[in-house]
């Protein structure tokens, strides 16, 4: 169903739901807005009524979040991934920060970040005053930029660096998740890609624990990559003997 949806061309103004979530869209069209589907052995209930969604979000003790992927805690270990007492404790901590009076003091930071973004867009304009621009990367940076200004104050550049590291961490986590292989399948995969996977895992660990001190081409990471490549080659030869 996914391959069929991706094979059809889509224009800029088309509804993307049929392409992005074809199975869910099919279930809604066939069984209505409130339905359930099976994802392998797991039943999943789909609800679209605002009242039901509100009940699920408010009754956090009755509706537990599904267990995340083992690597998910590297990307989202905040309040959105918590349950029970941990959720309640974090919620009480962050509630005061979102009062209207405190948000009013952040308007100037919002305005400055938006002005910087628009100025960057204006620099991309050609002589005739028009250009085609992909604004998604700018909008991604805008969120981190605003938080950096409001949360870090004078340490604004340090905040931006942290968000850059988190973005790199997310990309590495996705790569590791998609390419995970166990040693039991060593005979059926290439040596170089497996060494690269270990290299990505090590770099991800370095970003988390050392805030990017170990860069991609630092002597430590290069040494680790070469060491793992030799180690995997030895394991591969032993498995064939």
- Residue by residue, pLDDT tens for the chain (241 residues) are 777 777 777 777 777 888 888 888 888 889 988 888 887 888 888 888 899 888 888 887 777 777 766 666 666 666 777 777 888 888 888 777 777 777 777 788 888 888 888 888 888 877 667 788 888 888 888 877 887 777 666 556 666 777 777 777 777 766 666 655 443 344 344 444 545 555 555 555 555 555 444 444 444 444 555 555 555 556 555 655 5
CA–CA gap between residue 85 and residue 132 (Å, rounded)? 49
Q: Is 71 helix (H, G, I), strand (E, B) or coil?
A: coil
Tokens of 74: 């590297």
pLDDT of residue 236: 52
A 10 A CB-CB count for 74 gives 19
Residue 67 lies in a domain: no
Residue the block writes with tokens 């340090």: 158
On whether both 112 and 167 belong to a single domain, the answer is yes
Q: Give the CA distances from residue 1 to residues 20, 23, 218, in Å, rounded to whole numbers and listed in that order.
A: 11, 7, 45
pLDDT of residue 131: 80
Please identify, among 145, 173, 201, the residue that sits at the C-terminal boundary of a domain: 173
Q: Is 42 helix (H, G, I), strand (E, B) or coil?
A: strand
On whether both 24 and 38 belong to a single domain, the answer is yes
Q: Contact at 8 Å (CB) between 1 and 26?
A: yes
Please identify, among 173, 207, 225, the residue that sits at the C-terminal boundary of a domain: 173
| Residue 165, domain extent | 106-173
Residue the block writes with tokens 């390419």: 179
Q: What are phi and psi of 210, to 5 degrees?
A: -120, 10
On whether both 6 and 49 belong to a single domain, the answer is yes
Residue the block writes with tokens 């992909």: 134
Residue 42 lies in a domain: yes
pLDDT of residue 130: 76
Q: What are phi and psi of 36, to 5 degrees?
A: -135, 150
pLDDT of residue 16: 80
On whether both 164 and 207 belong to a single domain, the answer is no
Q: Which of these, 146, 145, 140, lies nearest to 103 by C-alpha position?
A: 146
On whether both 166 and 183 belong to a single domain, the answer is no
Total domains in the chain come to 3
On whether both 14 and 54 belong to a single domain, the answer is yes
pLDDT of residue 179: 57
On whether both 138 and 185 belong to a single domain, the answer is no
Cα angle, residue 161 at apex, residues 158 and 162 outer, rounded to 5°: 90
| Cα separation of the two ends of the chain | 43
Q: Is 37 helix (H, G, I), strand (E, B) or coil?
A: strand
Residue 54 lies in a domain: yes
């Amino acid at each position: 169903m996914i391959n069929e949806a991706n094979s059809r061309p889509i224009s800029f103004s088309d509804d993307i739901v049929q392409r992005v979530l074809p199975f869910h869209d099919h279930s809604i069209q066939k069984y209505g807005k409130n339905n359930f589907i099976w994802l392998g052995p797991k039943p999943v209930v789909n609800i679209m009524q605002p009242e039901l969604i509100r009940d699920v979000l408010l009754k956090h003790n009755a509706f537990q979040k599904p267990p995340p992927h083992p690597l998910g805690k590297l990307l989202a270990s905040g309040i959105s991934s918590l349950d029970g007492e941990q959720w309640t404790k974090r919620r009480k901590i962050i509630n005061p920060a979102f009062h209207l009076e405190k948000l009013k003091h952040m308007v100037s930071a919002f305005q400055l970040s938006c002005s910087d973004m628009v100025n960057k867009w204006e620099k991309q304009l050609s002589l005739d005053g028009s250009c085609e621009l992909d604004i998604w990367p700018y909008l991604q940076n805008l969120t981190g930029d605003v938080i950096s200004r409001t949360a870090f104050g004078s340490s604004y550049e340090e905040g931006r660096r942290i968000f850059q590291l988190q973005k790199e961490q997310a990309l590495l986590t996705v790569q590791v998740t998609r390419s995970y292989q166990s040693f039991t399948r060593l005979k059926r995969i290439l040596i170089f890609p497996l060494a690269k996977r270990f290299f990505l895992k090590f770099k991800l660990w370095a970003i988390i624990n050392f805030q990017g001190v170990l860069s991609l081409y630092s002597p430590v990471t290069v040494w680790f990559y070469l060491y793992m490549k030799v180690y995997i080659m030895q394991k591969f030869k032993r498995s064939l003997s």
